[in-house]
């Protein structure tokens, strides 16, 4: 198994930077990808980075992670609160998962307080903006290379 992470982003995150910047910040998805690549490079990890507005595509990427990636960082966006299918896919591949949200979903509408993913995740980072992605990658670096 190579030390590679799959970083997945759900619907509407392609609009980061212009989408409700008071909630999600001014960084674009390209900025998030750059941050993830820089963080992973510095820690000696490889990453795959994807965003989709199509649930089946996300599920296909999750299925494809088995045997290729050692862990998954996922911001499932709205599917966090709706998708048993995304949760089942993550459970099926049995890789460690860190759930990330830019905003603190617990400070927001009650429909955002429930996550189908959290019960099968190692941990959840929310409210730290794009830094949450960096923290998730750092967690995996420590998990894979604890001597470093
Ligand atoms: C989000 C929070 C979700 O509730 C929302 O549907 C998103 C983004 C976040 O990163 O804060 O699209 O996952």
The per-residue pLDDT for 2 is 53
Closest residue by Cα to residue 7 from 114, 139, 148, 108: 139
Query: What values do phi and psi take at 87, rounded to 5?
Result: -60, -45
The per-residue pLDDT for 27 is 96
Would you kindly state where each structural domain of the chain is located, as residue ranges?
A: 4-144
Task: Kindly indicate the confidence band of residue 145, based on its pLDDT and cuts at 50, 70 and 90.
Answer: confident
Mean pLDDT of 109-137: 98
Task: Find out whether the beta carbon of 122 lies less than 6 Å from any atom of ligand 1.
Answer: no
Atom of ligand 1 nearest to the CA of 13: 12
CB under 8 Å, gap of 24 or more: what pairs does 108-116 form?
108/23, 111/81, 112/80, 112/81, 114/81, 115/76, 115/80, 115/81, 116/80, 116/81, 116/82, 116/83, 116/84, 116/86, 116/87
Encode pLDDT of 29-82 as tens digits.
Answer: 999 999 999 999 999 999 999 999 999 999 999 999 999 999 999 999 999 999
Mean pLDDT of 84-107: 98
Distance 84 CA to ligand 1 centre (A): 16
Contact 58, 93 (CB under 8 A): no
Class of domain 4-144: alpha beta
Closest residue by Cα to residue 103 from 73, 84, 75: 75
Options 24, 69, 116, 133, the catalytic residue = 24
With a cut of 60, say whether residue 126 has pLDDT above it: yes
The per-residue pLDDT for 147 is 63
């Amino acid at each position: 198994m190579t030390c590679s992470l799959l970083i997945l982003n759900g619907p509407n995150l392609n609009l980061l930077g212009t989408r409700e910047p008071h909630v999600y910040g001014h960084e674009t998805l390209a900025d998030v990808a750059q941050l993830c690549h820089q963080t992973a490079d510095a820690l000696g990890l490889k990453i795959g980075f994807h965003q989709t507005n199509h649930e089946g595509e996300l599920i296909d990427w999750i299925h494809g992670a088995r045997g290729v990636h050692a862990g998954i960082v996922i911001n499932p966006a709205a599917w966090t609160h709706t998708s048993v299918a995304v949760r089942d896919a993550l459970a099926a591949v049995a890789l460690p998962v860190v759930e990330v949200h830019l905003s603190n979903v617990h400070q927001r509408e009650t429909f955002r307080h429930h996550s189908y993913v959290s019960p099968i995740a190692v941990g959840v980072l929310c409210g730290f903006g794009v830094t949450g992605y960096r923290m998730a990658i750092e967690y995996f670096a420590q998990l894979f290379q604890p001597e470093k």
